[in-house]
Amino acid sequence: MIIVMAKNATEENIRRAEERVRNAGLKTHLSKGDEVTIIGVIGDKKKIANLEMNMMDGVEKTVRITEKYKLVSRDFKQTDTVVDVGGVKVGGGNLAVMAGPCAVESYEQLLEAAECVKAAGANFLRGGAFKPRTSPYDFQGLAEDGLKLLQRAAKETDLKVVTEIVDKDDIDLIGTYADVFQVGARNMQNFELLKALGKVNKPVLLKRGLSATVSEWLNAAEYIVAGGNENVILCERGIRTYETFTRNTLDISAVVAVKELSHLPIIVDPSHGTGRWQMVAPMARAAIAAGADGLIVEVHPHPEKALSDGDQSLKPKNFARLMEEIKELNAFMRKHYGEN
């Protein structure tokens, strides 16, 4: 349930309303907007049903949230969440672009990628150091050595680092080098990992599971936010369908669905979403036109030599061209549709 406070509610009204909720053995989650203040009520359904709030001073109304996810829902918070990654903003009409190789392979490879994505206008360097590969015989990543290379290349090019975490025991290690923890599709419902990431004070990029519904995905985000970490960025990366021409079926409509259902920012991964580099730019443009807050794109200086996902990696010159297009497209979207 959420309690919507009246526009003229005083601090004392808010304090008393929160106190009543807590006295009933329930948890509160305060969200103060410019216009209205909302108190989220979380806990036992029966206790919530018995809670009488409507007659309290300063309370305008109470609204039941029927979905299982609450804190991430648009009902709970109407305004778009903007995740601030050390000064780089994700959400609210800002264009966030994360780019770089699928996997960190060497310093030379990474620096070349970092320099070109920075020059083209990206704000994050991506690259996996812990790779969840389908086959145990495939390249598994450079682990901590890879993290060190990421930090070094990102520092030299003034980019933020986003990298995947596959094990909750690696939180401290990865947190030392990364600005954003990426939870990959295969771990979207690794609930112990999600709970642990709820306790960190760094943003999380939560990719959609290979066969997850939008509702399951938002429930996964709820785990992180319910733990206390409100800085979650969602990422649509394609889902499994019967189609085999593409690696996955990129669900652009999920961008619109998430914007309706949640206040969290959403970016799109056209690389894993298609598996084919030729399709990356058209789908990236489609994502921005649909209102996405940004992109995560695989870029490799020499895709033919890539140790993973070369087929879906853009060459630097193609990425630079795409950036020009989407900057213009994003400006158009802002002008005509407001904050995406």
**Separation CA 127–CA 116 (nearest Å):** 14
Provide the minimum distance between the beta carbon of 259 and ligand PEP in the complex, in angstroms, as a whole number: 20
Provide the minimum distance between the beta carbon of 279 and Mn ion in the complex, in angstroms, as a whole number: 15
Residue type, 33: G
Helix ranges (DSSP H) in the chain: 11-23, 45-49, 107-120, 143-157, 171-177, 191-197, 214-226, 253-261, 270-274, 277-289, 316-337
DSSP string for 59-72:
EEEEE---SS--TT
Candidate residues 309, 318, 322, 330; the one interacting with Mn ion per rule CB under 5 A:
309
CB 209 within 8 A of CB 217: yes
Closest to 288 in 3D by CA, of 95, 120, 100: 95
Does 207 bind ligand PEP (CB under 6 A)? Our answer is: yes
| Residue nearest to ligand PEP as judged by C-beta position | 184
Does 247 bind ligand PEP (CB under 6 A)? Our answer is: no
Greatest alpha-carbon pair distance for the chain in Å reads 68
Task: Select from 72-80, 135-143, 184-192, 195-203 the region that touches ligand PEP (CB under 6 A).
Answer: 184-192
Does 104 bind Mn ion (CB under 5 A)? Our answer is: no
Closest to 130 in 3D by CA, of 121, 139, 122: 139
**For ligand PEP, what does the binding mask look like between residues 104 and 143, x meaning CB under 6 A?**
------------------------x---x-----------
Candidate residues 38, 85, 98, 102; the one interacting with Mn ion per rule CB under 5 A:
102
Q: Which does 14 bind (CB under 5 to 8 A by kind): Mn ion, ligand PEP, none?
A: none
Does 269 bind Mn ion (CB under 5 A)? Our answer is: no
Q: Which residues make up the interface to ligand PEP (CB under 6 A)?
A: 102, 128, 132, 184-186, 207, 237, 269, 272
